[in-house]
Chains A and B, each alone.
Chain A
Amino acid sequence: MAEIPLLSVRNLVVEFPSRRGTLRAIDDVSFDIAEGEVLGMVGESGAGKSLTGAAIIGLLEPPGRIAGGEILLRGERIDNLAAEPMRRIRGKRIGMVFQDPLTSLNPLYTVAEQLIETIRTHISCTERVARERAIALLDRVGIPAARRRIDDYPHHFSGGMRQRVVIALALAAEPDLVIADEPTTALDVSVQAQIIDVLKEICAERGASVMLITHDMGVIAETADRVAVLYAGRLAEIGPVRDVIQAAEHPYTQGLMGSIPTLTQTDTRLVQIPGSMPRLDAIPKGCPFNPRCPHVMDRCRHDRPVLIARGSKREVACWLYEAVREEVHHG
């Protein structure tokens, strides 16, 4: 029997009804996250990466709604759960880390109160045990003098330290999956590296899977096992990090990789993808990338490409590879 993935997203569709018709922000996105795996989800603003995360944890802002597909956690559907059972899954089985640590912490409660509350909501234990657990957690995420600082309020901590507290909070109930949405975007580079290391280590230690949502390919390269590239609400390419970064196959991913300035390159021009990502109400027919694609073919303007398997671990939504496959087949 095939192993059931920890998280399985099948043909997810997220829609926003609006006065001028329904906008499809996520269109037929499918992916799995295995036990203990770190999946990176990368894309530019408006690609739908944060929405995918919000849909999984049932926190879509109305009027946004899941209009199709299913989300399975260890084989059980969680996309159609009522508010209360979903609330129990959030925190207990799926932890969350958001971009801005100041908005994920309540400014009126001390870090101790927030951590102890979270621990006791999901795990039955005494206040004292919960407090010891909280201190151990803070210590583990690298907060110096955790025993003393646990009674401080969030504003007493610096940005990087606050994000550590948020990570501790996300892991307090020992979830199976942590969804981290741009966890380091608000931080300086030197602090970013520390936070990535903490997140990576602590999740590996506890066997938690991570879905890391970011616009920064560098962060993905350092952290993820596999990466999914989103474009205009659709999956462009998914595969092992090394393959996607070093030999991208989708023309969009290729353009994206080439447009990133690196520390080692000489004074060459950056690859430039003409135009910008389409707005939700103007997604082109066929492949959404076709007006910007250097390899566009007639077919791309009419037929939407399906995910084509490339080897055992990789899938690309591009007709270029269908042609290759057919040629091989006929030859």
Chain B
Amino acid sequence: MVDTVLQVEGLTRTFDVSKPWLNRVLERDHKQFLTAVDNVTFGIERGETFALVGESGSGKSTIAKLIVGLLKPSRGTIAFDGQPMSFESGTAMRNLRRRFQMIFQDPFASLNPRWRVGEIIAEPIRTFGLASGADVHREVARLLEVVGLSATDAGKFPHEFSGGQRQRIAIARALSSKPEFIVCDEPTSALDVSVQAQILNLMRDLQDEFGLTYLLISHDLSVVRHMANRIGVLYLGRIVEVADSKRLFTDPQHPYTRMLLDAVPDLALSGRRRTPVTGEIPNPINPPSGCTFHPRCPHVMDICRGDPPAQTPTATGAAACYLLTEPVGS
């Protein structure tokens, strides 16, 4: 039986990016909206790592913020463990909140510089009433050791640590409320490769130890390949393809996925001839009609400019491309 932890259904978020009212009146401009996330649907099973990968402007961080409740969806639903999430405060929501946490990209910005590390980690423990008195300190010490730091680090300030160590502190803080599900938004993009390896290994160990479920958001295909069981590829706010991690890399279905894979520098020096990538991501305020990838797509057909393609099931997932449904050459 499939045990779904998180189910996202038709999630959409638009931002008002209009000029100020007076400018609009004087310049006779209309209101402008940017659809950062457009009708996104996916589910995450317990214990797996689901990754969302995409380039800048693909809406991956917006999805992360929507899931943890830092932003309100414009349309669509998010259900955690079968319970729909509301964005009002309340006891039920509070209990639900404890069970998911987030790790941010920049460990220099996500830790309060005026707080000692011990206080940073203890805050969720106290807020959710998971321990009190001396137990809090014991728990903080234990968490610091779990992430590979020492218990005495609790008395230090964040600036005394390197980037990698700070990310460990952020992970300890995320773990302190005993969550089941962690949203990791580019957890290693600000780190050097050797430190990235330490953090990725730590994330895996913690997953095995505590049975965590991860939503990993990244622009780095090799990180995603290394960490994820299933991958969703985003382009301009839409999921263009979802597949098993292995399958996605050996047998990509959507032309955009293929292009993205081709663009990854080749460390194996196989001398493979890559198809030249063309064009850049269009402006999301004025996205192209139909399939938003059509101006860059090598297989573009007339139908692609009409309505956006629906998700078509593939061997291990789904892809939104007319190549999969329309007879080629028609």
Q: Are B280 and A191 in contact (CB under 8 A)?
A: yes
- In the assembled complex, A259 has its CB within 8 A of some CB on chain B: yes
Per-position contact with B for A23-47: 1 when CB-CB < 8 Å, else 0?
0000000000000000000001100
Q: How far is the CB of B131 from chain A (nearest CB, A)?
A: 31
From A158, A193, A219, A242, residue with most partner B Cβ within 10 Å: A193
Per-position contact with B for A230-256: 1 when CB-CB < 8 Å, else 0?
000000000001100110000000011
Q: Are B264 and A218 in contact (CB under 8 A)?
A: yes
> What residues on A are CB-neighbors of B201 within 8 Å?
269-270, 272
Majority SS of interface residues in chain B? helix
Q: How far is the CB of B197 from chain A (nearest CB, A)?
A: 3
- In the assembled complex, B267 has its CB within 8 A of some CB on chain A: yes
- In the assembled complex, B265 has its CB within 8 A of some CB on chain A: yes
Select one of A258, A261, A272, A276 contacting B162, CB under 8 A: A276
Q: Are A190 and B265 in contact (CB under 8 A)?
A: no
> What residues on B are CB-neighbors of A267 within 8 Å?
226
Question: CA A242 – CA B263 in complex, angstroms?
Answer: 20
Question: CA A54 – CA B162 in complex, angstroms?
Answer: 25
- In the assembled complex, A216 has its CB within 8 A of some CB on chain B: yes
Which residue of chain A is the closest to B165 with respect to CB atoms?
A276
> What residues on B are CB-neighbors of A246 within 8 Å?
269
> What residues on A are CB-neighbors of B162 within 8 Å?
276
- In the assembled complex, A265 has its CB within 8 A of some CB on chain B: yes
Q: Are A160 and B274 in contact (CB under 8 A)?
A: no
From B193, B195, B261, B281, residue with most partner A Cβ within 10 Å: B193
Per-position contact with A for B222-260: 1 when CB-CB < 8 Å, else 0?
110111000000000000000000000100000000011
Q: Are B269 and A188 in contact (CB under 8 A)?
A: no
Tell me the B276-291 residues at the A interface (CB within 8 Å).
276-277, 280-281
Q: How far is the CB of B242 from chain A (nearest CB, A)?
A: 18
Question: CA A193 – CA B269 in complex, angstroms?
Answer: 15
Q: Are A189 and B55 in contact (CB under 8 A)?
A: yes
Interface magnitude class on chain B: 35 or more
Say yes or no: A190-B55 contact (C-beta < 8 A), given A160-B280, A263-B264.
yes
Which residue of chain A is the closest to B283 with respect to CB atoms?
A158
Per-position contact with A for B156-176: 1 when CB-CB < 8 Å, else 0?
000000101100000000000
Q: Are B267 and A262 in contact (CB under 8 A)?
A: yes
- In the assembled complex, A112 has its CB within 8 A of some CB on chain B: no
Q: Are A270 and B219 in contact (CB under 8 A)?
A: no
Q: Are B277 and A190 in contact (CB under 8 A)?
A: yes
From B221, B260, B268, residue with most partner A Cβ within 10 Å: B268
> What residues on B are CB-neighbors of A260 within 8 Å?
193, 197, 222, 267
Tell me the B205-225 residues at the A interface (CB within 8 Å).
219, 221-223, 225
Select one of B194, B225, B261, B277 contacting A255, CB under 8 A: B194
Question: CA A66 – CA B266 in complex, angstroms?
Answer: 36
Select one of B198, B249, B263, B268 contacting A189, CB under 8 A: B263
Q: How far is the CB of B74 from chain A (nearest CB, A)?
A: 26
Q: Chain A: residues with CB nearer than 8 A to chain B?
A: 44-45, 158, 160-161, 188-194, 196-197, 215-219, 221-222, 241-242, 245-246, 255-256, 258-265, 267, 269-273, 276-277
The 4 closest A-B pairs by CB, nearest first: A218-B265, A259-B197, A261-B226, A44-B192
User: Could you list 13 further interchain pairs (A-B, Cβ under 8 angstroms) beyond the known A193-B277, A260-B267, A276-B165?
Assistant: A45-B192, A189-B264, A221-B267, A222-B266, A261-B197, A261-B225, A261-B226, A262-B222, A262-B225, A265-B225, A270-B226, A276-B164, A277-B192
Question: Would you list 19 pairs from A and B whose C-beta atoms are within 8 A, ordered by A residue?
Answer: A44-B193, A161-B280, A189-B55, A189-B264, A190-B277, A190-B281, A193-B277, A245-B267, A256-B194, A259-B194, A259-B197, A260-B197, A260-B222, A260-B267, A262-B267, A265-B225, A269-B201, A272-B198, A273-B194
